[in-house]
């Protein structure tokens, strides 16, 4: 008939609603360079190499750093946007700043670090990471 909700429970619900609203606002795409997510990455492992494609639209080559250390490939991308709009009298009407840094790490096995090739084409970072020759140390486990 009537929903009887204790006062404390009503306050918790109000707080939950406010928190959800704030999270929805901060998850919006205009606050972060990649829409609130890490950048999309495709990795293919072939017998003799790894092929990596990372989507980094609008990121300058100088703001992308790639390194391999202790078996981990790290891709770091940084974006700093600054826009300013002025009226006819050269008065500032609006200034906007947006910045962000995103990092992705992946484990890569038996990498020949000296022969890694990287290029940036139309917002897509492409890496070709050759493997060192040698036996594959992985063992397949059968599931019964």
Ordered strands of the 117-121 beta sheet: 41-45, 49-55, 124-130, 117-121
In this structure, of 33-42, 56-65, 99-108, 133-142, the range with the lowest mean pLDDT score is 33-42
Is residue 140, in this structure, part of any structural domain at all? no
Q: For residue 81, what is the domain's CATH number?
A: 2.60.40.790
Pairing of the two strands 72-86 and 92-107:
antiparallel
**Is the pLDDT score of 123 beyond 70?**
yes
How many domains is the chain partitioned into structurally?
1
In a domain, 26, yes or no: yes
Tokens of 30: 């205009």
Residue 31 has pLDDT above 50, yes or no: no
- Parent domain of 120: 7-130
Q: How many CB atoms lie within 10 A of CB 104?
A: 16
Check the CA dihedral 22-25-31-33 and report its sign: positive
Task: Place 6 in a pLDDT band, splitting at 50, 70 and 90.
Answer: low
Q: What pLDDT does 29 receive?
A: 46
35: which strand partners? Answer: none
Mean pLDDT of the region 83-107: 83
Do the domain assignments include residue 1? Answer: no
CB 100 within 8 A of CB 34: yes
Q: pTM for the full model?
A: 0.62
C-alpha 39 chain-centroid distance: 3
d(CA 144, CA 139): 16
In a domain, 100, yes or no: yes
Q: Is residue 46 part of a domain?
A: yes
More confident residue, 76 or 22: 76
Question: What pLDDT is attached to residue 30?
Answer: 44
Of 143, 111, 140, nearest to 127 (Cα)?
Answer: 111
| Any domain includes 138 | no
Of the segments 11-25, 32-46, 112-126, which one has the largest average pLDDT value? 112-126
The answer to whether position 137 is within a domain reads: no
- 74: in domain: yes
Taking phi over 0 as left and psi of -120 to 50 as alpha, with beta for the rest, 24 belongs to alpha
Span of 10-14, 71-75, 84-88, 139-143 with lowest mean pLDDT: 10-14
């Amino acid at each position: 008939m009537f929903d009887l909700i204790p006062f404390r429970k009503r306050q918790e619900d109000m707080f939950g609603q406010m928190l959800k609203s704030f999270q929805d606002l901060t998850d919006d795409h205009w606050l972060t360079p990649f829409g609130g997510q890490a950048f999309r990455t495709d990795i293919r492992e072939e017998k003799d190499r790894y092929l990596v494609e990372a989507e980094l639209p609008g990121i300058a080559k100088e703001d992308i750093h790639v390194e391999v250390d202790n078996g981990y490939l790290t891709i770091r991308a940084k974006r700093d946007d600054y826009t300013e709009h002025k009226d006819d009298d050269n008065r500032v009407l609006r200034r906007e700043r947006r910045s962000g840094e995103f990092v992705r790490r992946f484990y890569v096995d038996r990498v020949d670090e000296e022969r890694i090739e990287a290029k940036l084409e139309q917002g897509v970072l492409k890496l070709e990471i050759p493997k060192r020759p040698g036996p594959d140390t992985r063992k397949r486990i059968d599931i019964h």
